């Protein structure tokens, strides 16, 4: 597995990470615990050294799972987790929705360290920007945790360019995690140039469009009400039918390259910048191996131009989130 460094930091990780959310959150039915632990360990054996979790996934049980699964590999892997939601100790959500107060950040850090079973959190993201807490206070709180040795790197998720700049001035931001893929390219407008200028790495989540870019989801597929995709406008049957053109494009290239549509979608992301590290999530070993195979797929300048030209002709239909979730992004 190739390695990449996130921005100007010294955080070197595998070129592809593993998003662990789906093991306990958003995509029912969840696998048995022993299956997820086996998958985490299989990922390490195949060269993955970057794992993504969060307090809110569950809440709490995703961090516990990742901590247990990766326990044999302490010091060999980097685990990223997140703070920023108002969650009660019993796992219920508090009335505030978001809470990035310095006191809360400190509480989450201490609890996450215990659940993960580590001495320091490798990368600690603010999960969503809290409009009620100045970002300078958030960055300052993480800076203190870094000084104390509890956290190694500060990250942000789904933040706007101005907020990233303000935070970075207080405590250098190692990575931004936001959605980015061939079917969600808004970060190219303002976010990616900002990250490049400041020397911040980019960790795209949903790099396969929540599974759509794999080519395995057509207009006839149904989603259980417990599946997050059942509430996403981009996954209505009409939108899927309209967006199929993007999958067809990936399929054509995949045929030429003896690859899969998912591998082309990931290879495209890897080709955009050397400091981009996608974190596709999966609960299945064959998908993990397929995703890892994308690192070996070479896209030439001509290939990238072909994708660019064809993608420019396709207008993706449907919002990527329900309105309430969309309002939490880009602040």
Q: Which two tokens stand for residue 64?
A: 């516990």
The 3-state DSSP class for residue 287 equals: helix
**Residue 180 is among the residues annotated as catalytic for this protein:** no
Q: Which of 250, 243, 234 is nearest to 294 (CA)?
A: 250
Give yes or no for a contact between 86 and 95, defined as CB atoms under 8 angstroms apart: yes
Whether 183 and 153 have beta carbons less than 8 Å apart is answered as: no
At how many degrees (to 10) do helices 191-198 and 161-170 cross?
20
- Could you tell me the maximum CA-CA distance found in the chain, to the nearest angstrom? 54
Taking only Cα atoms into account, the Rg of the chain, rounded to an integer number of angstroms, comes to: 19
- The strand pair at 85-87 and 93-98 is best described as antiparallel
Structural tokens at position 299 = 């896209």
* Annotated catalytic residue within 57, 125, 180, 184: 57
SS3 of 90-151: the string is CCCEEEEEECCCHHHHHHHHHHHHHHHCCCCECEEEECCCCCCCCHHHHHHHHHHHHHCCCE
**Cis amide prior to 69 (ω within 30 degrees):** no
Distance CA 112, CA 135 (A): 21
Give the DSSP per-residue string, 153-182. -EEEES--HHHHHHHHHHS-EEEEEEE-BT
Residue 231 CA to its chain's centroid (Å): 19
Please list the active-site residues: 57
């Amino acid at each position: 597995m190739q390695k990449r460094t996130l921005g100007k930091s010294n955080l070197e990780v595998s070129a592809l990470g593993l998003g662990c959310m789906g093991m306990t959150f958003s995509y029912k039915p969840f696998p048995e615990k022993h299956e997820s632990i086996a998958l985490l360990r299989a990922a390490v054996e195949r060269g993955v050294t970057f794992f993504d979790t969060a307090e809110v996934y569950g809440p709490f049980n995703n961090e516990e799972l990742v901590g247990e699964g990766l326990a044999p590999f302490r010091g060999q892997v980097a685990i990223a987790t997140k703070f920023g939601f108002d969650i009660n100790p019993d796992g219920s959500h508090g009335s505030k929705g978001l809470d990035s107060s310095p006191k809360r950040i400190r509480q989450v850090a201490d609890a996450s360290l215990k659940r993960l079973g580590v001495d320091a959190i490798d990368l600690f993201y603010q999960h969503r920007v809290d409009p009620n807490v100045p970002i300078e206070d958030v960055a300052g709180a993480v800076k203190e945790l870094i000084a104390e040795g509890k956290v190694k790197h500060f990250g942000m998720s789904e933040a706007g360019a101005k907020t990233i700049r303000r935070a970075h001035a207080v405590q250098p931001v190692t990575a931004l995690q936001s959605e980015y893929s061939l079917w969600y390219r808004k970060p190219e407008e303002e976010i990616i140039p900002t990250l490049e200028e400041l020397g911040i790495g980019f960790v795209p989540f949903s790099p396969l469009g929540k599974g759509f870019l794999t080519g395995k989801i057509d207009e006839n597929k149904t989603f259980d009400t417990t599946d997050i995709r059942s509430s996403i406008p981009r996954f209505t049957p009409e939108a899927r039918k309209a967006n199929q053109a993007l999958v067809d494009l990936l399929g054509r290239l995949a045929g030429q390259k003896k690859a899969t549509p998912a591998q082309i979608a990931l290879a495209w992301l890897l080709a955009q910048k050397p400091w981009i590290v996608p974190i596709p999530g999966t609960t299945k070993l064959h998908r993990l191996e397929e995703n890892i195979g994308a690192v070996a797929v070479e896209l030439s300048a001509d290939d990238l131009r072909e994708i660019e030209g064809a993608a420019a002709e396709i207008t993706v239909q449907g919002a990527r989130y329900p309105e309430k979730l969309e309002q939490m992004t880009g602040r």
